[in-house]
Amino acid sequence: MTRDWPGIAAAASVAALIAGPVLAVLWFAGGGALPGPGDWAAVRFTLLQATLSAGLSVALAVPVARALARRQFAGRRVLITLLGAPFILPVIVAVLGLLAVFGRSGVLNLGLGWLGLPPVQIYGLHGVVLAHVFFNLPLATRILLQGWQQIPAERFRLAASLGLGPAQVARILERPMLRATVPGALLVIFAICLSSFAVALTLGGGPRATTVELAIYQAFRFDFDLGRAAVLALIQTGLVGAAALAALRVSRGDGLGAGMDRALRRWDANSLALRVQDATVLTLAALFLLVPLSMIVIKGLAGLPHMPNSVYSALIVSVCVSLLSMSLTMLLTLTMGLAALRHGWIEAIGLLGVAMSPLVLGTGLFILINPWLNPSSLALPVTALANALAALPFALRVVLPALRRAEHDFGPLADGLGMAGWARLRWLYLPRARPALGFAAGLSAALSMGDLGVITLFADPQQATLPLQMYRLMGAYRMEAAAGAGLLLLAASLAIFWTFDKGGRSDADA
Amino acid sequence: MLTLEQLRITQGDFSLTADFSVPQGARLALIGPSGAGKSTLLNLIAGYLEPTAGRVLWQGRDITGQPPGQRPVSMLFQDNNHFPHLSVAQNIGLGLRPDLRLSAAQHEQVAQALSRVGLDGLGGRKPGTLSGGQQSRAALARVLVQRRALVLLDEPFSALGPALKAEMLDLVAALVTETGATLLMVSHDPDDARRIAPLASVVADGTVSAPMDTETLLATPPAALRAYLGA
């Protein structure tokens, strides 16, 4: 047994930190106006882009996941690892990569110009959807691939012994799995896209492409209309909360699971046509992911010499915020995870963060802090806190199963030896959950490192995290310097993830 | 003396009662069909299960409400008797101090226990690198350093071959004789019971019979045991 009070205290703090700002907003909105036409337009756009993004991501993911599930080839593991990269790829960096491919003077328009065709425009609805598909196609693919791999290998063997062709295998084995998996994937991605801020900030904007999250920011930053921000924040909380709850109910996998590089022997898809089809699908998917990523590297290398010194100080700030946020996430994850072994409701509180909109949290904290202190003096701690709360659900979902397994397998032995409190933590839970803890720490540090959210509300011109500094460079049309900063940010995010993940795995000989 | 006083546990359709004593230093085998409740009885004595009614007493002292670690009990399970991330010596050391802050004398005790079970020099290895027989020996080394008055075996050697299993049972018999501990072991095989347990109880039809002489019991088995043994 370990003591439960640290976990219960942590859960209570998390609940207070999530509910407090919302209540502050609610109280403040009491004096606010009813939503105006602009606000409703933001709601409509938010729902439209989220629906399109989720639908397209999942529809495109079906052939990709199917091809990955039934093919073995050199580079398959690398491709699956690459599909996990968007988890830790900073949004603003990805946007820069997409701009380099699909932007006004991007690779695509260069090619179209050569062919004498008119250029395409990336800003607006289709740009927002494009970026969301870039991020969520890999996520959808991983979720569906998990579904495919949960079909027991024996079923495919049985299908082969019965001589079933691809169409029958699809009907008997694959479609039932998809019917069970697709709704969850759709809802998860819909919920993610609802609260997307950085994509809308960079590729959207204007009356016709403003999300609710972006409208909160504008009401706050440009008009300093706290009443309107509060009304929008209420709407956003309702939207995201409903979608997240539905997603939690329906979803089965979250794409974080391991074991996806297991190869599965298949007998039903050997025809040349199907092999060509799968090869084409996988090539296109890999190109869609790899070309923007390569552009980040190419343009970034060229931009490195053009970076102002402010980029380096922003990097230091970002590393500190990221480490602080990660420590907080892991403290909450560990205390709440251990208490959740005996009190299931604690896990539910940890997952509440999924329904939290960072800008709503930011608005609420601003309202709470403003009467007492200059909010910008707390910009960095508040950013770290918001990042920690946002990462907590992911970290818990990674760590809790490992703790449960440790307790299930070795709890009786530890009980018999009288291992309680610190001894049990030190000699049972920490070593058994170490790989999961390392992965969760890496994930949470990288998420915080790349986040461009709450910081935009709080920061004054003298301070910036690296993503914010990059955004400011883009806003000043210093694209070369922004590209250099983007590469630096990407490298820093990957490095910090790798360091912690590796730390958890080393010496894992048991 | 271990006393099970009107002990009863009910779990859904399943129920088990026991009401008898085992003398100190005795070696008792629990024989009966699977699912009859042999492991359940050990888990009740070790404190992993709460009885629905009745008490468990050791030397007249009620231990029913005590957590497993505070009972005078060493128990070996079917599997997971070692933490795979700790060395063999650490696993044994946990029997002396759950926080592993061992004194020099305690380190020496661990080394002697390793030597006693024939694992000299293997203390630094991880359990996963040992053979099945060596893992069993390491588990017994921990029982040895724990020096608890009651040793409960829930078929820890069932994965070993017949010769190795017999060797382990002999080692168990030697160790409990040395420490004076009372032994209760679950057994599927009457030969195991004959080998090291002079006393035996039948676990069948929801009750545990009072201990009696093993040879007599196996020679003239009651109906429930006869059906199980197929004699």
Q: What is the mean predicted confidence (pLDDT) over A47-65?
A: 96
Q: Are residues B20 and B64 in the same domain?
A: yes
CATH of the domain at B219: 3.40.50.300
Q: What is the mean predicted confidence (pLDDT) over A140-163?
A: 85
Q: Are residues B61 and B102 in the same domain?
A: no
The answer to whether the Cβ–Cβ distance between B80 and A410 falls below 8 Å is yes
Nearest CB to A419 within list B48, B75, B98 = B98
Average pLDDT, chain A: 88
The answer to whether the Cβ–Cβ distance between A426 and B99 falls below 8 Å is yes
Look at residue A161 in the predicted model and tell me its pLDDT: 80
Closest CA to A393 of A350, A336, A339: A350
Give A16-29+55-505's CATH code, choosing from 1.20.140.10, 3.20.10.10, 2.60.40.420, 1.10.3720.10: 1.10.3720.10
pLDDT interval class at A73 (50, 70, 90): confident
The residue among B224 and A407 whose pLDDT is bigger is A407
pLDDT interval class at A262 (50, 70, 90): low
The answer to whether the Cβ–Cβ distance between A426 and B98 falls below 8 Å is no
**Containing domain of residue B124, as a range?**
81-147
ipTM reported for the complex, 2 dp: 0.86
Q: What is the mean predicted confidence (pLDDT) over A265-275?
A: 80
Nearest CB to B126 within list A409, A422, A510 = A510
Q: Are residues B68 and B155 in the same domain?
A: yes
Residues in chain B: 231
> pLDDT digit string (tens) for B2-11?
999 999 999 9
Structure tokens at B77: 């399970």
Domain limit, last residue, from B113, B147, B181: B147
The answer to whether the Cβ–Cβ distance between B68 and A423 falls below 8 Å is no
Distance from CA of B16 to the nearest CA of A (A): 21
CB atoms within 10 A of CB A206: 8
**Which site among A408, A417, A430, A509 would you substitute to test the B interface, given the most B Cβ atoms closer than 10 Å to its Cβ?**
A417
Look at residue A260 in the predicted model and tell me its pLDDT: 54
pLDDT interval class at B104 (50, 70, 90): very high
Taking one residue from A and the other from B, the number of pairs with CB-CB distance under 8 angstroms is: 66
The answer to whether the Cβ–Cβ distance between B84 and A417 falls below 8 Å is no
Instruction: State the Cα–Cα distance between residues A310 and A312, nearest whole angstrom.
Output: 5
**Which site among A1, A405, A413, A507 would you substitute to test the B interface, given the most B Cβ atoms closer than 10 Å to its Cβ?**
A413
Look at residue A63 in the predicted model and tell me its pLDDT: 95
Q: What is the mean predicted confidence (pLDDT) over B202-209?
A: 93
> pLDDT digit string (tens) for A439-493?
999 999 999 999 998 898 888 888 899 999 999 999 999 999 999 999 999 999 9
Domain limit, last residue, from B147, B175, B200: B147
Look at residue B171 in the predicted model and tell me its pLDDT: 94
Look at residue A205 in the predicted model and tell me its pLDDT: 75
Please enumerate, as own/partner, the contacts of A275-283 that have beta carbons within 8 Å and a separation of 24 or more.
A275/A71, A277/A63, A277/A67, A278/A63, A278/A66, A278/A67, A278/A70, A278/A71, A279/A67, A281/A63, A281/A64, A281/A67, A282/A64, A282/A67, A282/A68, A282/A71, A282/A79
| Tally of domains in chain B | 2
Q: Are residues B97 and B164 in the same domain?
A: no
Q: Are residues B224 and B168 in the same domain?
A: yes
Q: What is the mean predicted confidence (pLDDT) over A266-279?
A: 84
CA distances A69 to A170, B120, B203, Å, are 13, 49, 50
pTM of the model: 0.85
Q: Are residues B4 and B109 in the same domain?
A: no
Q: What is the mean predicted confidence (pLDDT) over B29-55?
A: 93
Q: Are residues B129 and B172 in the same domain?
A: no
Look at residue A254 in the predicted model and tell me its pLDDT: 53
Sign of the Cα pseudo-torsion (B57, B63, B68, B74, in order): negative
Q: Could you give the percent of chain A with pLDDT greater than 70?
A: 95
Q: Which chain A residues contact residue B80 at CB under 8 A?
A: 409-410, 412-413
**Residue B231 confidence (pLDDT) above 70:** no
Closest CA to A452 of A122, A84, A200, A140: A200
> pLDDT digit string (tens) for A191-246?
889 988 999 999 987 778 999 999 989 988 888 887 888 888 888 888 888 888 88
| Extents of the domains making up chain A | 16-29+55-505
The answer to whether the Cβ–Cβ distance between A431 and B100 falls below 8 Å is no
The answer to whether the Cβ–Cβ distance between B83 and A415 falls below 8 Å is no
Distance from CA of A293 to the nearest CA of B (A): 39
Nearest CB to A416 within list B68, B82, B85 = B68
Look at residue A31 in the predicted model and tell me its pLDDT: 60
Domain limit, last residue, from B147, B176, B191: B147
